Chains A and B, each alone.
Chain A
Amino acid sequence: MERFAERLAAEYDEILGGYPVSLPRDFRQALAELTGTLSEQEQRLWAEDGAALARHSLRSWEAAGEFFRASPALATLMPFPVLRRWAETGRELAEESASLASSYFKAGAEGLGGLSIQQMREWAGLGRQLYKGNWKSSSLASQFFEVSPTLFQQVNLAEARALARFIDTLASRSYELAAACLGIAPKVMGSLQRADRGSFLGFATVVAETSWADARVYFEKGPGLLHHVHQDQRTRFLLLSSAVARKAGRQAYPFFAESASALGQLDNELHNRLLTLAELLAPKSGAAAMEFLKSVPEVLMRVRFDDLDAWHGEGRKILEASEDGGLAFFRLESGKGEEVIELLSARVELVRVGEVLRMYCKALTGTNVSIQAAGALADKGVGWVSTERASTDGTAVFLPPVVEEAGDKGENFAVYKVYATHQAGHLEFESFRMRFERPGALFGNTRIERAGGDGVALTDMERFFDLFEDRKLASDLFTVVEDSRIDYLIKREYGGIRGALRRVQGRELGKRSPVEQMPLRQAAVENLIRISLDGLSSVRWPLGRMETMRQAAGLLRAIQHEAATIEDTAEITLRLYDLLTQVPNVLLDAELEGEWAELGEDDIQLDMMPAGGEGGAPQPGGEGTLGEPGEGEAPYDSPDAPDFRGDFKPELVQLLMRLRGDAKSQGEADGQFAPLTPEQLKELMEKSVEIDISAFVEGDMQMSTGMFLANLMKEAGTPASEKQGQQSGDGQPGEGDEEDTGEPPENPIEYFWYDEWDFRANDYKPRWCRVVQQTLDEGENKFFEKTLVEHAGLVAQTRKQFELMRPELFRKIKKLYDGEEIDLDAVIEFVAERKAGHSGDDKIYWRRNKIERDVAVAFLLDMSASTDEEINRRERGRDDDDFDDDPRRYLAWWAQKRAKELQNPVKRIIDLEKESTVLLMEALETIGDRYGIYGFSGYGRDNVEFYVIKGLDEAFDDKIKKRIDKVVPIRSTRMGPAIRHATMKLDQYDAKVKILFLVSDGRPQDHGYGRDRTEKEYAIHDTKMALNEAKRKGIVPFALTVDRAGHDYLKTMCEDIGYEVVADIESLPSRLPTLYRKLTE
């Protein structure tokens, strides 16, 4: 045997001698290993196969080397004929490319034992398929063989086939991406479940076909995204994605990714139903199906799952009628969609009911309260931190942004109303008007006796809380007693809300944590809260200490009296505090202390009602000795405050009121309290339990304090200079201050939201654009004066024209019973008729009636960047060509132009707009029409800038002259929202004639104002709709443009609305007043 092998080896040393030395070496080594497995006959055949391979082409010896190396391992796995066929396949590959063959053999060596020979051939075929005859494809195919060993640990042949198809498809677009995908294929395949692989790769192929650039991202991220989907639904989802992708093209991957993560936000169990719904949409519009899935999480935040079908159904109906409409619907960008959701939704949003609640609170309190989202208060950084809880700062009521406590809208609104009523109750029943020295209506005043020295308190509340060692307990008690008083008074005063209040209280009671697990003192406060929520039956208290609870409950009940005032709350707080500090704050051992019992209605001691200040003070009973106070006691911690009562911060509110210089709180206070210093504020901040210091910037306490004080001052509206003085006076480096002072307080920014018209969907996009309104800064008034001088002639002329309008204001009215004089014609007619026997018309007087000129006009100036264009540039085209390459003439022309420019700086469109405005203002002042001048620009739908140059009710003065100077070109032209905003302004005025005058230099255009930057239709249709809306409100819109191409789009934009294109731009200043005159005559 061995001798045979030796001979064979020697024989082949010779045959293989012409190749690099590694080949014979590999041969010898393999042969040595094979000797035991193969017969001599087989060894010879094997050697011949190898040699043939090596001979095959220039570099096929490398493949032969791999063949030799792989053989020993394979020979043990398969019978020799199979091994030969394997080699044969390799040889076939070598015909295509030697390196392909060597990768093939190498992969074989690394173990593909699991495959049958048939499969092996097919596998080889897959690799070969990838080879297209160029080197890139060759390396891809080689890579395929290289990854195969690891790949086949994960996949079976069918899957490999699908993978190869995907790689092949992708490779026809980009070899780089295909190679990258192939590289990660084993890992990707491994992370997928077997059942999903086929459809995953199927979709991958579709992506490669429709939007190959995304293929790699999909391949890499897909499995992770797919994990969001319920495992039984993944195949279905992928099939849906594939179906959609064929129609949606480029959107295929984003759709897949976004809807997968949308599904991920939802309960897995819902996926089945959602996919069914999506599949219903897919035949009509795949994009709509995916948009549907994407929007579901947001929709489900507002409607219950059971109602989703109804929403889907509505959308489907719209989709059947128009694809764009359906898309907008499912994208949540349509007014109709919003309406449907609103109808189905049970939750109530503050933005929708804010105005109603505001007037409601105003009616209740009689003061101008504003309603704001709780977040607004937290943002002020003056001590409130919750963005979800209702509260009040004494001037405004803050409410959570949405309420979805109950299952239907009506009840949720009722909850809002309870919130609002409670906060308004604090204002109506004067929770914040506590006077330290004023006796309570029921309980007199024991506070003064207790206050030993006269503390340096900033407010009455602070002075009151200073009486207590444990401020937290005192504050909690004060809150529960006061809330109890307010709720009682509300129930008494507003019978209609009792039902809703009771329901809210009931729900609140259901949410309380078990009282038995609280330390005793906390449990006592918890019990008081329960009693205040009408939940006497849920009170639990150790039987042995019941006396304390009886007294406490009696005290709390005593505040429920129609005459009780905030001072009574304070008195009761004092008494409760004394009572509860006797209770040790320990966790009770139930076995030692005995049972916890209920407190019955009859048990409450109502004889706590004292006439004067005396009887109320509790006598610490024998029970005080039960637990040794201070021993094993936990520090007192507050029980949860009931949601609907929100945050009650009397101390802060009083402070704010004091800072604001609130008349009532200051009147008496001035003599009583020392002037406010930052140290005092700081001290208050540190001791008050109403301010959660940890909520401020962590770490730097000094900075937090500074910020808090700055915010407080800002909130209270203390003038900046004063603040500065105070800060520097005591050497405090007020970190936050520097920015605050730089902020111009007189130019507040206001936000407004408007719908936008989508002509494709034939519907509005709800609350789509945000208009940022701001008063324009003041510049110099030089521009104004200069224009008047420059155009002195024109000024005089227009003024005269406008003055001429006045006498026309008197018109003769005929046919009256009574008047200035008899109308002779009418008399003759009358007499004639009478002679003829008719009764005749005896209305024979006429009179001059004064027609009051009652005009309000808003001018909208386009401040887009394009107005920066110089006017001359438009004509330059003509001039430039005239020099015939003669530099001297050009220089002469240029010098002349420069000189001219120096004398008269180049004018831009905006300058002419401004000049026209100046002239118009001069003219308007002579006839006394009410007018406003506004500029607009902006970028994108969230930032439509709207500048007030002159408000409709502002008087014309120097300030306005200065603002005109600041009119400069800014950015884009989103006309729709600007027009809507101006319309809203005009609509608030009561005038017989209202005019909206739009001055622009071109068509509307903005980022996202249409499918892309070049699309005109969307913007034009929205603008048209905005103009029509104005018209519907009885406003006369008029568009004036200096764009010579204006006729094109103005025809569409202003179908039946007046417009004019001013061809000669420089005539704008004279044209504008003339137009205006014509318009109002």
Chain B
Amino acid sequence: MTTDTDQIYRQYAIEEYTPEHEPYYVGVGDEIELFRAAFEQKIPVLLKGPTGCGKTRFVEYMAYQLGRPLTVLKEQGTSATPPMHANGDGQALSVVTVACHEDLTASDLVGRYLLEGDSTRWMDGPLTRAVKRGAICYLDEVVEARKDTTVLIHPLTDYRRLLPVEKLGQIIEAREGFLLVISYNPGYQSALKDLKHSTRQRFIAIDFTYPPREVEAQIIEKESGVDAATSVELAKLGEKVRNLREHGLGEGVSTRLLIYAGKLIAKGIPARRACQVGVVWALTDDAEVQRSIEEVVSSIFE
């Protein structure tokens, strides 16, 4: 029985998951060097930027890269070299990703008692596991979470690197390799949900924007498998649509969506149609804005 299930899916403890292959990421600026330095200096990192511009991918990529000796990292082209393992247990760094939402409370991160029969059992939350394991903990869209989570973040992000577990009456010291990374999308949240300064000022901030046209085309090409010319057109579309931001559109089109469109095209869907379902309809429900973007699409794609 167990062998059957094992064949069908793979399952990991949350803190043990590591990317198997090297995630694809193209550095646009000096973010790779910055992150590596921060990691080594144990400085928490805040990633700012719009949705779908590669923040999560960047974290995965860095986790993978940080598991390897510095020399290899510098020559990105030679990815064939098998990774060396920095944290001693023969793996790239683990990443624990938590997508924050407005009902996410501190106990969701730290852990809670579960009822089991008439007794209770303590279960560690993802943050606790990452702290114990020494993994990168990535809190995506952190401002969405409840304010009480900041109680946890603060002691973890200064020199103490401690996680208080109130319900157990414990304090856990973060293991070597633990790094708190949070992401934050400045344009998107309402004024109510701005990050507090006392929290903000515990992180260095790396600003992400959509990559320039050529780089984005390269990413689209690599990720979607569509030909180079179409990739350039898709990147161009991305650039044009982003001009419409704050103008009927809350957000510009993400690289991710452009890749999806590219993937559809690679499977033989006509370009205009692929962009319609992959970009236009995904972005907005406003008929007029849809029409406008479709016109841009039809101007770019034949």
A residues touching B (Cβ–Cβ < 8 Å)? 355-360, 362-366, 368, 417, 421, 493-499, 818, 842
A360 to B292, CA, bound (A): 5
A818 to B104, CA, bound (A): 10
CB closest residue in chain A, given B233: A495
Chain A to chain B: the 8 pairs with minimum beta-carbon distance, closest first:
A359-B292, A366-B243, A494-B299, A363-B240, A497-B299, A360-B295, A356-B291, A496-B301
Task: Give, as a whole number of angstroms, the nearest-CB distance from B250 to chain A.
Answer: 11
Q: Which of B244, B298, B299, B301 has the most chain A CB within a 10 Å cutoff?
A: B299
- B302 interface residue per 8 A CB criterion: yes
Q: Given A495-B233, A496-B302: A417 and B295 within 8 A (CB)? A: yes
A495 to B241, CA, bound (A): 16
- B91 interface residue per 8 A CB criterion: no
Task: Give, as a whole number of angstroms, the nearest-CB distance from B36 to chain A.
Answer: 34
B residues touching A (Cβ–Cβ < 8 Å)? 105, 107, 112, 115, 233, 236, 240-241, 243-244, 247-248, 272, 288-289, 291-293, 295-302
A358 proximity list for chain B (CB < 8 A): 292
B105 proximity list for chain A (CB < 8 A): 818
B115 proximity list for chain A (CB < 8 A): 842
A495 proximity list for chain B (CB < 8 A): 233, 300-302
A365 to B297, CA, bound (A): 15
A853 to B215, CA, bound (A): 46
A355 proximity list for chain B (CB < 8 A): 288, 292
A368 to B246, CA, bound (A): 11
| A421 touching B299, Cβ below 8 Å | yes
| B243 touching A365, Cβ below 8 Å | yes
| B296 touching A363, Cβ below 8 Å | yes
Interface residue SS majority, chain A: helix
Task: Give, as a whole number of angstroms, the nearest-CB distance from A838 to chain B.
Answer: 13
Q: Which of A363, A364, A417, A493 has the most chain B CB within a 10 Å cutoff?
A: A363
| A362 touching B244, Cβ below 8 Å | yes
Task: Give, as a whole number of angstroms, the nearest-CB distance from A243 to chain B.
Answer: 46
Q: Which of B105, B241, B288, B292 has the most chain A CB within a 10 Å cutoff?
A: B292
> 16 additional contacts, CB 8 Å, given A496-B297, A497-B299?
A355-B288, A356-B291, A356-B295, A360-B292, A362-B243, A363-B244, A364-B299, A368-B247, A417-B295, A421-B299, A494-B299, A495-B233, A496-B298, A498-B302, A818-B112, A842-B115
CB closest residue in chain B, given A359: B292
A358 to B244, CA, bound (A): 10
Inter-chain contact count A-B, CB under 8 Å?
Answer: 64
Task: Give, as a whole number of angstroms, the nearest-CB distance from A365 to chain B.
Answer: 7
A417 proximity list for chain B (CB < 8 A): 295, 299
Q: Given A356-B288, A356-B295: A363 and B243 within 8 A (CB)? A: yes
| A360 touching B243, Cβ below 8 Å | no
Q: List 30 A-B contacts (CB under 8 A).
A: A355-B288, A355-B292, A356-B288, A356-B291, A357-B292, A359-B248, A359-B289, A359-B293, A360-B295, A362-B243, A362-B244, A363-B240, A363-B243, A363-B244, A363-B292, A364-B240, A364-B243, A364-B299, A366-B240, A366-B243, A421-B299, A493-B300, A495-B300, A495-B301, A496-B297, A496-B302, A497-B298, A497-B299, A499-B302, A818-B107
| A496 touching B247, Cβ below 8 Å | no
A149 to B279, CA, bound (A): 86
A364 to B240, CA, bound (A): 5
A360 to B300, CA, bound (A): 12
Task: Give, as a whole number of angstroms, the nearest-CB distance from A962 to chain B.
Answer: 30
CB closest residue in chain A, given B229: A495
CB closest residue in chain B, given A490: B299
B236 proximity list for chain A (CB < 8 A): 493
A497 proximity list for chain B (CB < 8 A): 298-299
Q: Which of A363, A493, A496, A842 contacts B293 (CB 8 A)?
A: A363
A497 to B244, CA, bound (A): 20
B300 proximity list for chain A (CB < 8 A): 493-496
CB closest residue in chain A, given B108: A818
| A362 touching B247, Cβ below 8 Å | yes
CB closest residue in chain A, given B290: A356
A356 to B284, CA, bound (A): 14
Q: Which of B107, B247, B302 contacts A359 (CB 8 A)?
A: B247
CB closest residue in chain B, given A819: B105
B302 proximity list for chain A (CB < 8 A): 495-496, 498-499
Task: Give, as a whole number of angstroms, the nearest-CB distance from B197 to chain A.
Answer: 21
A365 proximity list for chain B (CB < 8 A): 243
A818 to B298, CA, bound (A): 51
A357 proximity list for chain B (CB < 8 A): 292, 295
CB closest residue in chain B, given A816: B103
B112 proximity list for chain A (CB < 8 A): 818
Task: Give, as a whole number of angstroms, the nearest-CB distance from B109 to chain A.
Answer: 12
A421 to B243, CA, bound (A): 15
A358 to B105, CA, bound (A): 44
A467 to B81, CA, bound (A): 65
CB closest residue in chain B, given A493: B236
Task: Give, as a whole number of angstroms, the nearest-CB distance from B294 to chain A.
Answer: 9
CB closest residue in chain A, given B297: A496
A360 to B297, CA, bound (A): 10
B291 proximity list for chain A (CB < 8 A): 356
A358 to B296, CA, bound (A): 11
A288 to B299, CA, bound (A): 45
Task: Give, as a whole number of angstroms, the nearest-CB distance from A984 to chain B.
Answer: 14
Task: Give, as a whole number of angstroms, the nearest-CB distance from A226 to chain B.
Answer: 48
CB closest residue in chain B, given A414: B298
Task: Give, as a whole number of angstroms, the nearest-CB distance from B242 to chain A.
Answer: 8
A494 proximity list for chain B (CB < 8 A): 299-300
B297 proximity list for chain A (CB < 8 A): 496
B240 proximity list for chain A (CB < 8 A): 363-364, 366
Task: Give, as a whole number of angstroms, the nearest-CB distance from B276 to chain A.
Answer: 13
| B288 touching A363, Cβ below 8 Å | no
| A359 touching B299, Cβ below 8 Å | no
A788 to B80, CA, bound (A): 80
A932 to B289, CA, bound (A): 27
| A360 touching B233, Cβ below 8 Å | no
| A363 touching B298, Cβ below 8 Å | no
Q: Which of A359, A421, A493, A498 contacts B244 (CB 8 A)?
A: A359
Task: Give, as a whole number of angstroms, the nearest-CB distance from B244 to chain A.
Answer: 5
B299 proximity list for chain A (CB < 8 A): 360, 364, 417, 421, 494, 496-497
